[in-house]
Amino acid sequence: MSARPLGVWLVENGYCADEKEAAALVMAGEALLNDRPAKAGDRVGAKDKVRLRRPPLPYAAKGGLKLEGALARFGVSVQGRVCLDAGASTGGFTDCLLRHGAQRVYAVDVGYGQLRGSLRQDGRVVNLERTNIASPALLKLEPVPSLGCCDLSYLSLRKAIPLYREILRGRGEVVALVKPLFEVDDAQARRSGNLPPDAYEPMLTGLTGYLNALEGVRVRGLCESPVTGNAGTVEFFLHVGLGGSGAPVPLENEIARSVEEALKTQPYRKEAQTG
């Protein structure tokens, strides 16, 4: 095998999403070629050894770490299921679903060209880029997904969950990331990117109450995200059942506990990411 450019090698072996990310990794001195700091022009031959100073992320993006924690907390099994990931972006959630045994993942995003190359080429992934979650095309998916997940910006779950109810045809479940800044009407908070600590409990209480009032929707559980946003923003997850009835699950204690734990979460350090 002929020697490959280092950037190409890093992408092909799953360490980076693209050559731009690989170049940044090399410039930061995180890649070692034969135990010496690699350079931008290096090539990798069959006998060369490449390693990183820090281990790469286990998923295509740190979102996979978030979803992994939520699936475990809620006891949601992905094995053999058809899933829909809205706000897929580079594919952290999609990658996590696949690694947990998903049969198929519809990766939906309004953007274009963001999904990691290895996921675009995976036969289990249906790449629905340039697609809004409100697109009528999603109402015709076959097979119909039974599990949804989402990491949405600029759209409240008050609007997203009813759309999921239609897409999943009134049955199944959704594991949804709660981004507090998009669940409040506080313009100042949105400008600053921060909510005061005492704003989280009423936000979550209002959101879960609203969703439980929707026909065929029941919030089954709530937890803090194990990983913060890029700017250290606090986030949460909801486990939402579709087609449910009966009295809503009492969530007051879970909300208080989750907020307390979320405020203890150390901010995510983007510079620690190497893959």
pLDDT in tens, 103-135: 999 999 999 988 888 888 899 999 999 999 999
pLDDT in tens, 50-89: 888 765 666 777 778 899 999 999 999 999 999 999 999 9
Which carries the bigger pLDDT value, residue 164 or residue 35? 164
Can you spell out the DSSP letters for 98-155?
A: HHTT-SEEEEEESSSS-S-HHHHT-TTEEEEES--TT-GGGGG-SSPPSEEEE--SS-
Domain map (residue ranges) of the chain: 4-52, 63-272
What is the pLDDT, as a whole number, of residue 55? 59
Please compute the mean of the pLDDT values over residues 33-38 and round it to a whole number.
91
What is the pLDDT, as a whole number, of residue 10? 84
Name which of 21-25, 198-202, 231-235 the model is least confident about: 21-25
Answer yes or no: are the C-beta atoms of 119 and 125 closer than 8 Å. yes
| C-alpha to C-alpha distance for 59 and 61, rounded to whole angstroms | 5
Helix 92-99 and helix 63-74, axial crossing angle in degrees, nearest 10: 50
- Can you tell me whether residue 225 is helix, strand or coil? coil
Which carries the bigger pLDDT value, residue 79 or residue 196? 79
Q: Please list the alpha-helical segments (H only) found in 148-251.
A: 157-167, 187-192, 200-212
**4-52 CATH:** 3.10.290
pLDDT at 142 over 90: yes
What is the pLDDT, as a whole number, of residue 14? 66
pLDDT band at 269 (very low <50, low <70, confident <90, very high): low
pLDDT at 202 over 90: yes
pLDDT band at 98 (very low <50, low <70, confident <90, very high): very high
Please compute the mean of the pLDDT values over residues 195-204 and round it to a whole number.
93
What is the pLDDT, as a whole number, of residue 228? 87
Please compute the mean of the pLDDT values over residues 213-228 and round it to a whole number.
94
CATH of 63-272, one of 3.40.50.2000, 3.60.15.10, 2.60.40.60, 3.40.50.150: 3.40.50.150
pLDDT at 194 over 70: yes
What is the pLDDT, as a whole number, of residue 11? 78
pTM of the full predicted structure? 0.79
| C-alpha to C-alpha distance for 200 and 256, rounded to whole angstroms | 9
What is the pLDDT, as a whole number, of residue 274? 30
Q: What angle do CA 111, 116, 122 make, to 5 degrees?
A: 110
Q: Determine phi and psi for 177, rounding to 5 degrees.
A: -75, 130
